[in-house]
């Protein structure tokens, strides 16, 4: 299926989910995750009306950015090694994977402007997942005061790898509760308006639970007819 047909379906899903949750579809940004696909496929997504592209490696971001920089807003969504920060800092508009102070320090040092960062939270507690533990988020945000180039624009999580929708939902809900806690701190460097949650398999639940950014790869730009 071409990207535009898939996008139509996803937008319908978002509209219905928003209706159920009493939200506006405009509140939800769709990030096309292009990490497994070609520049041409990413271009197809932009032509279908996508604005946001997500990549999880510095070289992937770079190769798409070189061709599409005038037409897309780039999001870095993967684990970020500190030594790679310099490669992406001027190209990504958002970093979704801030998960440690050493990374904050490096971003702060390399950024030539305020950098939009989302704190990655390991809500499900799975050992394989990166991210700050929910209990540590407020403390982590407070410590970011030291780094004036960091703007905590939101929180990000990856849902657990499970078919248990109630559990997935509870993780998204937890992230939203954490967002409220951060917002209640009233820090000018941490407006925390964004909730980046939901991927191909769980974006509908994520939208119902308040996602403002959904990161969709296979269901949107997948080049095969994958079951998702």
Of the candidates 14, 13, 7, the one whose C-alpha atom is nearest the C-alpha of residue 49 is 7
In whole angstroms, what is the distance from residue 61 CA to residue 49 CA?
19
Q: What distances in angstroms separate CA 135 from CA 126, 130, 132, 175, one per listed residue? A: 15, 14, 8, 11
- The least CB distance from residue 55 to ligand PLP, in Å, is 9
In whole angstroms, what is the distance from residue 6 CA to residue 23 CA?
22
List binders of ligand PLP among 34-63 (CB under 6 A): 35, 56
87 token code pair: 């490669």
Q: Which stretch binds ligand PLP (CB under 6 A): 45-53, 98-106, 171-179, 196-204?
A: 196-204
Of the candidates 33, 14, 40, the one whose C-alpha atom is nearest the C-alpha of residue 220 is 33
Of the candidates 207, 208, 212, the one whose C-alpha atom is nearest the C-alpha of residue 192 is 212
- The least CB distance from residue 200 to ligand PLP, in Å, is 3
Give yes or no for residue 118 binding ligand PLP (CB under 6 A): no
Contact 39, 67 (CB under 8 A): yes
| Beta strands per DSSP E along the chain | 29-33, 52-55, 73-76, 94-98, 115-120, 150-156, 194-196, 213-216
- The least CB distance from residue 214 to ligand PLP, in Å, is 9
Of the candidates 185, 197, 184, 102, the one whose C-alpha atom is nearest the C-alpha of residue 150 is 102
- The least CB distance from residue 141 to ligand PLP, in Å, is 21
Give yes or no for residue 216 binding ligand PLP (CB under 6 A): yes
Q: Which stretch binds ligand PLP (CB under 6 A): 43-51, 110-118, 178-186, 198-206?
A: 198-206
- The least CB distance from residue 224 to ligand PLP, in Å, is 12
Give yes or no for residue 108 binding ligand PLP (CB under 6 A): no
In whole angstroms, what is the distance from residue 192 CA to residue 213 CA?
12
List binders of ligand PLP among 145-174 (CB under 6 A): 158
- The least CB distance from residue 37 to ligand PLP, in Å, is 10
Q: CB nearer to ligand PLP: give 165 or 187.
A: 165
Q: CB nearer to ligand PLP: give 64 or 148.
A: 64
List binders of ligand PLP among 121-150 (CB under 6 A): none
Give yes or no for residue 215 binding ligand PLP (CB under 6 A): yes
Q: What is the CA radius of gyration of the chain?
A: 17
Give yes or no for residue 218 binding ligand PLP (CB under 6 A): yes
Q: Which stretch binds ligand PLP (CB under 6 A): 3-11, 15-23, 106-114, 193-201?
A: 193-201
Which residues would be at the binding site for ligand PLP (CB under 6 A)? 33, 35, 56, 77-78, 158, 199-201, 215-219
């Amino acid at each position: 299926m071409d990207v535009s047909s898939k996008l139509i379906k996803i937008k319908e899903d978002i509209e219905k989910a928003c209706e159920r949750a009493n939200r506006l579809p405009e509140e939800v940004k769709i990030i096309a995750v292009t990490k497994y696909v070609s520049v041409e496929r990413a271009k197809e997504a932009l032509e279908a009306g996508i604005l946001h592209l997500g990549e999880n490696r510095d070289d992937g971001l770079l190769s798409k950015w070189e061709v599409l920089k005038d037409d897309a807003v780039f999001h870095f969504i993967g684990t970020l090694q500190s030594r790679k920060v310099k490669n992406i800092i001027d190209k990504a508009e958002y970093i979704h994977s801030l998960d440690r102070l050493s990374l904050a320090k490096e971003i702060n040092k390399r950024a030539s402007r305020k950098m939009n960062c989302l704190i990655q939270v390991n809500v499900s507690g799975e050992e394989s997942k990166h991210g700050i533990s929910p209990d540590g988020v407020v403390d982590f945000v407070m410590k970011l005061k030291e780094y004036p180039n960091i703007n905590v624009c939101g929180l990000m999580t990856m849902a657990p790898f499970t078919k248990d929708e109630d559990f997935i939902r509870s993780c998204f809900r937890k992230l939203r509760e954490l967002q409220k806690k951060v917002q209640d701190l009233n820090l000018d460097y941490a407006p925390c308006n964004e909730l980046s949650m939901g991927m191909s398999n769980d974006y509908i639940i994520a939208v119902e639970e308040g996602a403002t950014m959904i990161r969709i790869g296979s269901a949107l730009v997948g080049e095969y007819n994958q079951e998702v």
